[in-house]
Structure 1
Amino acid sequence: MRINRILLSAPLVVVALVIQVTVLARLQLPGAVPDLLLLVVLGLALVYGHVAGALIGFFAGLLADVAPPSDHAIGRYALVLCVIGYAAGLTKPDSGQHRSATVPLMVVIGAAIGSTLMYAGVGSLVGDTAARHVGLVGLLLSATLYDLLLAPFAVPLVMAVARRTDHEPLVGDGSGSPSGTSGSRDAGYGWLTTGTGLKASRGAMKSVRTGARIGSQRGGLLGKSARDKVGRIKGVKRL
């Protein structure tokens, strides 16, 4: 990962975790707790891609595992967010930017359901049966609902900040190379390309003029020789 991505991701993850622990977890909502940390990981993964999404998800989940009041095994949520961040990053288009909000919305829904199922599944493997007492269906519905209500305020903001601080070109041209690369290359070497273009155009004009002159001279010579031949033929006929 780049340094600018790390410098942006770390504060966003820390702020999201603090808000989730100090504010969202104390709302005493029925079912699950709104997962702001998950939404921040999704927003960064949608912009940075699957590799960065997996790394950000792992360290964000690991930070949530050790942050108080932690009541589960360390590494449990890190595994969940690592997989979720990787899967969300795979939806990043080749152009670098989603054209509509449909794909991010579907990613949020899938991540809310997938993270809840994975968290409950890993918990059952390590002996945590809390999901059975609460009800897995209720957790799925409440987690999806809360994340969908919170996503319009968190995900677009995180994606906008990530794009603003990231210097990768977003749109590629038809040749497969990024448009920013060709544009900057032409702009950086414009004074060279302009000079060579003028020289090439002048040389082409000179060659055209020279060819036209040679062609006219050849045409004149051919016409003169043809007229001489016609005169000779006419003279022979008169004889």
Structure 2
Amino acid sequence: MNRRGRLIATLVAVLAALLLQVTVLPHFAWDVGGLGVVPDLVLLVVVATAVATDTRFATLTGFWAGLLLDIAPPADHLAGRWALALMVVGYVVGRLVHDNAGDPGGAGAGSRFGRLGTRRPPLPLALAAAAGGSFVGTSVFALSGLLLGDSAAAVGDLLPVALIALLLDVVAALVVVPATLGLVRRAAHDGLPRASQRIRVRA
């Protein structure tokens, strides 16, 4: 496994998702209770990373991806809320997926892909992971806002927002999750090692 290729691919996927989420999708936001709801592409990249790699890598990816989402304009909430939410998503999805696949994603799993990382996961598994990740991430983000007094919405107002967000995330997952899985898998297995071999041959 090429760790550098995996890291670069994940970084590219997160930045691309973040750029689309904060620049393009707000123009197509679904208004729910005065709040604009869009698919959370960054969350879906974290979900795909949790499926393709291991729990530890997915948890760390969730943290720094969420932190980027916290500080990217036009952020209007306390920094750290999305970092916490996506870190939990990476951990929970990673544990559930790899425990059920016979790969716990523990300390030794960081040196290899799990069995799911070497092949395309079934579509129902990808959608279930996206739905579960969306529910967990949205819930953690909303609850942290209530606990910190950083949200003016009541619990009753947040429920329809969470349901619409889950629906949009599952639809977007049909494209985002397979694309991210393919990018990470290709970079980790085929990308940089072949490039380095070509360089050595030419030298």
Alpha-carbon contact 2:39-2:168 (below 8 Å) kept:
yes
- Counterparts in 2 of 1:170-185, with a 5 A limit? none
The aligned residue for residue 219 of structure 1 is none
- Which residue does the alignment assign to 1:59? 64
Structure 2 partner of 1:154? 176
Partner of 2:24: 23
CA distance in 1, matches of 2:181, 2:160: 30
Find the partner of 2:138 among 98, 108, 116. 116
Q: CA deviation at 1:109?
A: 1.0
Q: 82-91 or 93-102, which moves further after superposition?
A: 93-102
Unpaired stretches in structure 2, ≥5 consecutive residues = 104-113, 191-203
Q: Structure 1 residues 100 and 127 mapped into 2: Cα distance closer, same or farther (>3 Å)?
A: same
Cα offset, 1:23, TM superposition: 0.8
Supply the RMSD in Å over aligned alpha carbons.
2.0
Matched, 1:96 2:115: yes
1:27-79 Cα distance to aligned partner (Å, 9 max, x none): 13123221011111111111011111001110000011111111111111001
Q: Any stretches of 5+ residues in structure 1 without a counterpart?
A: 169-239
In structure 2, the partner of 1:129 is 151
TM-score of the aligned structures, taking structure 2 as reference length = 0.76
SS in 2 for 1:120: helix
- Give, in whole Å, the separation in 1 of the partners of 2:29 and 2:130: 22
Q: Give the greater-gyration-radius structure (CA).
A: 1
Superposed, which structure 2 residues align to 1:135-214 within 5 Å?
135-167=157-189
Contact 2:3–2:188 under 8 Å retained in 1: no
**3-state SS in 2 of match to 1:131:** coil
Identical residues among aligned pairs (%): 38
Does the residue aligned with 2:154 lie in a helix, a strand or coil? helix
Question: Counterpart of 2:172 in structure 1: which amino acid?
Answer: L
**Which one-letter code corresponds to 2:64 in the other structure?**
F
Q: CA deviation at 1:134?
A: 7.8
Q: Given the two structures, how large is their TM-score scaled by the length of structure 1?
A: 0.65
Instruction: Please give the per-residue CA displacement for 1:133-161, whole angstroms capped at 9, x wherever unaligned.
Output: 88122112111110011110110111111
Q: Which of 1 and 2 has higher RCO (CA within 8 Å, sep 6+)? A: 2
CA offset at residue 99 of structure 1?
A: 4.9
Point out 4+ residue stretches in structure 1 off by more than 6 angstroms.
none
Query: In the superposition, relative to structure 1, how do residues 69 and 134 fare at CA in structure 2: closer, same or farther (>3 Å)?
Result: farther
